[in-house]
Amino acid sequence: MRKLVVALLALPVLLEIYPEAVLRQWRVLRIGTALGLGAVVALTAIGLARPSPTTASLPSPIVPVTQAAFRTVVETGVDLDAAATIVFSTPMDPASVAAAIGVDPPTAIDLTWDATGTRLTIGPGTRWAAARYHTITVGSGALARSGRPLTTLVRASFLTRGLAMATLGTTRAIGSQVALDTAVMVRFDRPVDPASLRRALRSTPAVEGTVTAVPGLASGPAFVFTPSRPLRADTTYRFVLDGVLDDDGLRLAPVTLTVRTIRAPTVVRFRPVGGTKGVTRDAAVSVRFTERMDRASTKLAFSVAVDGAVINGAVRFAEGDTVLVFTPTSRLRASGKIVAQVGTEARSAAGAPLAAVARASFRTAAAPRPAAARPAAPRPAPTAKPKAASPTPVAPSPGSTGGSTTGTASWSSVERYYLGLMNCTRTGGLISATGGCSSPGGRDVAPLKLSSGISTKVSRPYAKLLATRGECSHFIGGNPGDRLRRAGYTNYTWAENLGCRSGDSRDAVLASHRFFQSERSWSPLGGHYVNLMNRKYDRVGIGV
């Protein structure tokens, strides 16, 4: 245990000499400052309360007691159980010395003399007060065994160490928040009682866990609190450390730490939307999340079942790992009930589990599909001679932009027919089951213009690719933005609607458009309808 250097005093028979070896040790053990507190006439020397104190003396004529001098050295950061040693030049009378000793602040002390009666050790009865300036004095009334008194008092001063300090921190911070598997690090600047630490660490909400020591840290004692299970997502936790005792039994000041965990990801939507009927059997299934997801755990947590039987398929991620796209290995069963599900085993890239199980169900089209099994009864094209009872027919929209139109006349006609359907709905009308436009106009937005450039370079080639491969996906070879950029459209704000139907081309585009139009009654609005009505779009490429 480290002892206290209280003061160095000159004996009546020697000059003032500092034991350099002792001072060197003191400088190494404690960065402090020796302060001269002035000259006081004394008969004594106060030295180190160590097993072998160092003293130094030079031959000198005996001088009168009143001419002896001493210098006090004040040490800081003194341990609370350190003892002071006073060395007298002649055997002293213990009773008179005990009566002449004073301590400020008042502290119970223990006095121990050596066999010679010249060395007095002064220790605290229990401990010195922490972070206090202490003064020990021996009054001038103290007597030597010869009866000779001290002519003036002897004073020694020291500053005890302060209370131990604690800090709290986390082991896994993510920006201003913390991961769900974080632990809490507790650091101290001096030894503490581990048992008191385990009792003193609490949290709101309550967290069960274990406290273990972290060995080998040069900065001081450290412990880590590891929760027994991950913390709850998107939750504020308040950790309180109150009641820790240091190695002297003193209670540390309370310390608090407030943190918030990362939020849990949720599912934004499934595609196809839950409840949809007549979904094409070659449709891909996708899920959009609120957060970037961990691919491995999300893939394992995702499943697609047809009439209760899980099916196989390829899984890939798009849009910065916020969208999972599932492409079935084979065509979906006709008239099948398809259930897509993501379990809570799915985790975000930051490690938070999905907030809740998410699922959506839809039904595939019957086999054979009505449009493919028998041709639809002839229906007058809206741009030809409409029935008298039909609503206002859809007229072709304004001319195309950006190049010449390509493709056969029949496909071009269907594309322009589809443009008319889109602009009817976009400008405030509704497309009826017969393809007529009821109540057109009334919405202050410009109709879309057909871009033959986008149609020729992007929409038609991709429509052909989907048809030849029997697929229905936004993500073959990249997303729509990738296809636009490859075609030279690098600064466009884009969206894409797909309708994957067979049979008569006009019936197919009419059915697709009416489905998109029906999304206006959804809550929230369906994505196809939002794309169709968005004011920021002014042109469109169409491929059939």
Q: For the residues 19-41, what does the mean pLDDT come to?
A: 33
Amino acid at 3: K
Residue 265 Cα distances to 47, 154, 234, 454, angstroms:
69, 73, 10, 36
240, exposed or middle or buried, with CB in 10 Å at 0-12, 13-18, 19+?
middle
Which of these CATH numbers, 2.60.40.1220, 3.30.420.40, 3.30.70.870, 1.10.150.120, describes 267-363? 2.60.40.1220
Per-residue pLDDT of 216-243, as tens digits, reads: 787 789 999 999 999 999 999 999 999 9
How far apart, in whole angstroms, are the C-alpha atoms of residue 531 and residue 240? 51
b/e per residue 266-299 (b: at least 16 CB within 10 A): ebebbbbeeebebbbbbbbbbbbbebebbbebbe
Q: Which residue ranges make up each domain of the chain?
A: 8-160, 166-260, 267-363, 391-540
For residue 532, is pLDDT > 80?
yes
> Band of the pLDDT at 300, cuts 50, 70, 90?
very high
For residue 483, is pLDDT > 50?
yes
Residue 187 Cα distances to 183, 214, 348, angstroms:
13, 9, 31
Residue 453 CA from chain centroid, whole number:
47
pLDDT given for residue 75 in this prediction: 77
Residues 6 or more apart from 231 whose CB is under 8 A from it?
178, 180, 181, 182, 207, 237, 261
Percent of the chain scoring above 90 in pLDDT: 40
Longest CA pairwise span in the chain (Å): 141
151 vs 537: which has the higher pLDDT: 537
Mean pLDDT over the full length of the chain: 79
Residues 6 or more apart from 283 whose CB is under 8 A from it?
272, 332, 364, 472, 500
- Cβ distance 440 to 428 under 8 Å? yes
Nearest to 314 by CA among 330, 333, 301: 330
What are the structure tokens assigned to 302, written together?
């995702």
> Band of the pLDDT at 85, cuts 50, 70, 90?
confident
Amino acid at 362: F
33 vs 302: which has the higher pLDDT: 302
Domains 8-160 and 166-260 agree in fold: yes
pLDDT given for residue 73 in this prediction: 55
305, exposed or middle or buried, with CB in 10 Å at 0-12, 13-18, 19+?
middle
Residue 543 CA from chain centroid, whole number:
46
Give the least confident one: 205-209, 311-315, 433-437, 539-543. Answer: 433-437
> Band of the pLDDT at 56, cuts 50, 70, 90?
very low
Per-residue pLDDT of 164-194, as tens digits, reads: 899 999 999 998 999 999 999 999 998 999 9
Residue 362 Cα distances to 139, 304, 315, 325, 494, angstroms:
99, 11, 19, 16, 27
How far apart, in whole angstroms, are the C-alpha atoms of residue 85 and residue 154? 13
Per-residue pLDDT of 362-403, as tens digits, reads: 999 886 644 444 444 444 444 333 333 344 444 444 444 443
Residue 244 CA from chain centroid, whole number:
28
> Band of the pLDDT at 11, cuts 50, 70, 90?
very low
For residue 59, is pLDDT > 70?
no
How far apart, in whole angstroms, are the C-alpha atoms of residue 356 and residue 362? 20
For residue 22, is pLDDT > 90?
no
> Band of the pLDDT at 477, cuts 50, 70, 90?
confident
For residue 255, is pLDDT > 90?
yes
How far apart, in whole angstroms, are the C-alpha atoms of residue 493 and residue 484? 10
Per-residue pLDDT of 135-158, as tens digits, reads: 999 988 899 999 999 877 788 888
Residue 222 CA from chain centroid, whole number:
22
Which of these CATH numbers, 2.60.40.10, 3.40.190.10, 2.60.40.3710, 3.40.50.1820, describes 166-260? 2.60.40.3710
Nearest to 459 by CA among 425, 420, 414: 414
Residue that is written with structure tokens 């086999």 in the block: 367
Residues 6 or more apart from 57 whose CB is under 8 A from it?
11, 13, 14, 17
Give the least confident one: 267-276, 311-320, 517-526. Answer: 517-526
Helix axes 505-518, 409-426, angle to 10 degrees: 20
Instruction: Evaluate whether the domain defined by 8-160 bears CATH number 2.70.70.10.
Output: no
Residue that is written with structure tokens 């139009």 in the block: 517
Give me the DSSP letters along 182-221. --EEEEESS-B-HHHHHHHEEEES---EEEEE-TT-TT--
Per-residue pLDDT of 392-433, as tens digits, reads: 444 444 444 443 333 344 678 888 888 888 888 888 888 888
β-strand 539-540 against 449-450: which pairing, if any? parallel
What are the structure tokens assigned to 144, written together?
């030597």
What pTM value is reported for the model? 0.49
